[in-house]
Amino acid sequence: MKKMLLFAGIIALALCFSCKTSHNRDAVLLDSGWKFRTGDDPAWASASYSDAKWDTICPNKVWEEQGYKGYDGFAWYRYHAVIPSSMRLKAFIKDSIQILLGKIDDCDQVFLNGELIGENGRTVYTKREPPVDFFKEQGRWFIDRRYVLASNDPRIHWDKENLLAIRSFDQGGAGGMFGSPFEISMTDLQDHLKFDYTSSAFTFTGDSTITKKFTIQNLSSTEEFKGKLTIEAILSDNGINVYTENTGLDITPGLKFEKPVTFKKSMAAPAILKITFTESTSGKKVTSEMEIPYILTPKIPAKPRINGAKVFGVRPWSPFQYKVAASGSAPLVYSASDLPQGLVIDQFTGLITGSLKKKGDYLVKLKVTNKLGSDSRDFKIVVGDVFSLTPPLGWNSWNCWGLTVSDQKIRQSADAMKSSGLIDHGWSYINIDDGWEDTHDRDGNILPNAKFPNMKGLCNYVHSLGLKIGIYSSPGPKTCGGYEGSYTFEAKDAQNYASWGIDYLKYDWCSYWNIAPKATLDQMKNPYKEMKHAIRKANRDIHYSLCQYGMGDVWSWGAEVDANSWRTTGDIEDTWESLSTIGFSQGKCSPWSAPGRWNDPDMLVVGWVGWGPALHYTRLTSSEQYTHITLWSLLAAPLLIGCDLNQLDAFTLNLLTNDEVLAINQDPLGKQAVQVKKTSEYEIWARDLEDGSKAVGLFNKTDKPLNVPVDLKDLKVNGKPVMRDLWSQTDLGRVAVHFEMKTQPHGARLVKLAK
């Protein structure tokens, strides 16, 4: 497992918990009594094997915390449980039984009485031989392990002792079972009726009309449910119900359908959509809640406004391309006074191009005009050894298209970056992730695959829009997606990238494990140094983005290999667990962040994501997405949008175009926020800004609204600073000593405190 789990706080799990009845129903609790040993032997799946001499272990804590420090690889857990048929007799729904095993770091095969019933979080429904390579799948440590079997499955021995054996494999880091719950129980109504909110975004019409479609699915293959469906919209701040709808629901086994709902609510007011199904014969209820997005960023003014970074770095002689980011009604006319010799600005597009030979700082005055007025702003060009002086803002294909990325999808994304207006707020990179590579030819040139017929043509196209383009490879022979990597072809690859016009390289460790299976720190650095030299020779500013999931505390040596950014974690997912685990564990790398050297907690999971080809609307609530952008801005993280730009809904666009928030991310001082306060309920992070002020983020980790208290002394702020709310872009007056702000569940507030 990737490092982050250590920070996941595996939180509240200090003790081997004692048994309780969960979900108010009968269950065989598996909280204690587990046997454990490291190693691997298929015989350990068998009920007849004796585990009497094995160690005992708690299931709710990873093994590294229970005396097996530093152990990676295979280990087995065994449990002997009688499953009483009374449980089945008493159950409301009798057709399925579930085995809940918390979470498992990283991969697992689960055997019941010697037969495989589950693998890496997926039930094995019919008897089959266990596959041998389950442990090679990318770590599944964040997935709840829930294996569901039909009650009449012959692998279950009712009223007798059953042997549950878990073969687990830890790819590195913590290891084994953790979390909760651990039980065997009958499935109930809530396990069969699934509400899902990811088939559509909320749409907003006018100032207050909201439409949403959600799906209801009956997961049971045998049971039909009849009853009443109640849909309510409830304001979070005062509990006022602004919408109620009651309708009958008769849902046959396996049926899935989409239900639209339209209601009125003020855009900025946080609210909840609450769906309740009441089953008619038993009166049992299943309730599901989803936050209705609230829009905070004010409308973009029609008058011209210059946005984006205040500083731009370039190396001498490297091709210069900077697009002045400016909003306002079209047409805009751009100009720049005191542009150093060697650069020109296109007055219609705001694109500054050319090249500069001499090192030094050049102060330029940018001006943008339309028929309503003009805006001007100082802009510093720094010609030196380091570039990417503010974190890159852009888009990457992975979180939406995965390996189905193509030339056409890249062009469409670049078009959308421009037509959506994101480009006017500083968003500038269009990055191709894994899935573009074919093989190296006889001369060692990397050939794109059939999905990318003309890489140079594609780069030219993206540049012609005023955008930059990125690419992806691995120092190993193969990428994580199994495509051709750069191993032994580094120099040639870098030359080709530069000749195509590539501006950004994500370099992903992946199969380098095959070259250096137990890599020492030096071996971790070596492949990245190799590519560093290759890029240096290419005479082009290619943002060098390391992706090796934080191994060897990469933040402490990324700069040494010339990296402009480095991933600090494993892959992000669009869940609160993944987002909060990654985001709130970034304090350790704060000291290493600096202009041109950024910690990268992975890409954004807002909008339509899915890792290709099928997309779903992010599972994060709007509050969680405010936390995402707030925290990533405070962390001075690269912001790489991971969604389909052609399906930007109003909320997502609003979230990504708040210039005061983006200005925190792009602050020229380049200092990453530090964690100022952490309790089980909230966290406060603060970041020093170039103008002497401080950006402060307040984060509510609970699932209820919370007043987050802030003491100025914790922020090392004296006197009575002026406070501004950056999401709503409103002044809040002076504060002294202490203030509190209401913060939505899993949500954030972002303020700036100035003298």
Residue appearing with tokens 């914790």: 714
Q: How many helices (H) and strands (E) does the chain have?
A: 13, 48
Of 352 and 510, the one with the shorter C-beta distance to ligand GLA is 510
Contacts of 591 (CB under 8 A, 6+ apart): none
Kindly write down the DSSP assignment for every residue of 692-731, as one continuous string: S-EEEEEEE-SSS-EEEEEEGGGGT--S--EEEETTTTEE
Of 31 and 508, the one with the shorter C-beta distance to ligand GLA is 508
Q: How far is the CB of 206 from ligand GLA (least distance, A)?
A: 39
Q: How far is the CB of 554 from ligand GLA (least distance, A)?
A: 13
Both tokens of 109, joined, read 């095969």
Cα dist. 301→418, 422, 601 in Å?
18, 15, 32
Residue 524 is classified by DSSP as: H
Of 398 and 598, the one with the shorter C-beta distance to ligand GLA is 398
Contacts of 531 (CB under 8 A, 6+ apart): 475, 486, 490, 494, 505, 507, 544
Q: Report how far residue 77's alpha carbon sits from residue 148's, in angstroms, rounded to the nearest whole number.
A: 19
Q: How far is the CB of 501 from ligand GLA (least distance, A)?
A: 21
Q: Which amino acid is at 253?
A: P
Of 87 and 480, the one with the shorter C-beta distance to ligand GLA is 480
Q: How far is the CB of 433 from ligand GLA (least distance, A)?
A: 5
Of 350 and 475, the one with the shorter C-beta distance to ligand GLA is 475
CA angle 610, 616, 617 (to 5 degrees): 115
Of 564 and 675, the one with the shorter C-beta distance to ligand GLA is 564
Q: Report how far residue 212's alpha carbon sits from residue 274's, in angstroms, rounded to the nearest whole number.
A: 12
Which of 487, 533, 535, 491 minimizes the C-alpha distance to 512?
487
Cα dist. 582→60, 180, 613 in Å?
21, 20, 25
Beta strands 543-547; 393-396: pairing state: unpaired
Of 332 and 615, the one with the shorter C-beta distance to ligand GLA is 615
Question: Cis bond leading into 391, ω under 30°?
Answer: no
Q: How far is the CB of 575 from ligand GLA (least distance, A)?
A: 16
Cβ neighbour number for residue 456 with a 10 Å cutoff: 13
The H-or-E segment that residue 97 falls in is: strand 96-105
Q: Residues 160-188, buried b or exposed e (16+ Cβ, 10 A)?
A: eebbbbbbbbbbbbbbbbbbbbbbbbbbb
Sheet order of strands, 351-354 included: 320-323, 351-354, 343-345
Catalytic site positions: 508, 571
Length of the chain in terms of residues written = 755
User: What radius of gyration do the chain's Cα atoms show?
Assistant: 27
Q: How far is the CB of 64 from ligand GLA (least distance, A)?
A: 23
Which of 245, 370, 358, 364 minimizes the C-alpha distance to 310?
364
Contacts of 628 (CB under 8 A, 6+ apart): 579, 583, 604, 605, 606, 620
Of 138 and 246, the one with the shorter C-beta distance to ligand GLA is 138
Q: How far is the CB of 654 from ligand GLA (least distance, A)?
A: 26
Q: How far is the CB of 589 from ligand GLA (least distance, A)?
A: 17
* Backbone phi and psi for residue 526, each to the nearest 5 degrees, phi listed first: -50, -50
Q: How far is the CB of 547 from ligand GLA (least distance, A)?
A: 5
Residue 673 is classified by DSSP as: P
Of 545 and 654, the one with the shorter C-beta distance to ligand GLA is 545
Of 425 and 567, the one with the shorter C-beta distance to ligand GLA is 567
Which of 238, 145, 223 minimizes the C-alpha distance to 184?
145
Q: How far is the CB of 438 from ligand GLA (least distance, A)?
A: 16
CA angle 140, 142, 143 (to 5 degrees): 70
Task: Tell me which residues touch ligand GLA (CB under 6 A).
Answer: 398, 433-434, 479-481, 508, 547, 571
Q: How far is the CB of 396 from ligand GLA (least distance, A)?
A: 8
Both tokens of 612, joined, read 């290709």
Q: Report how far residue 571's alpha carbon sits from residue 555's, in angstroms, rounded to the nearest whole number.
A: 17
Cα dist. 137→7, 380, 614, 692 in Å?
22, 47, 20, 48
Of 177 and 561, the one with the shorter C-beta distance to ligand GLA is 561
Q: How far is the CB of 576 from ligand GLA (least distance, A)?
A: 20
Of 188 and 434, the one with the shorter C-beta distance to ligand GLA is 434
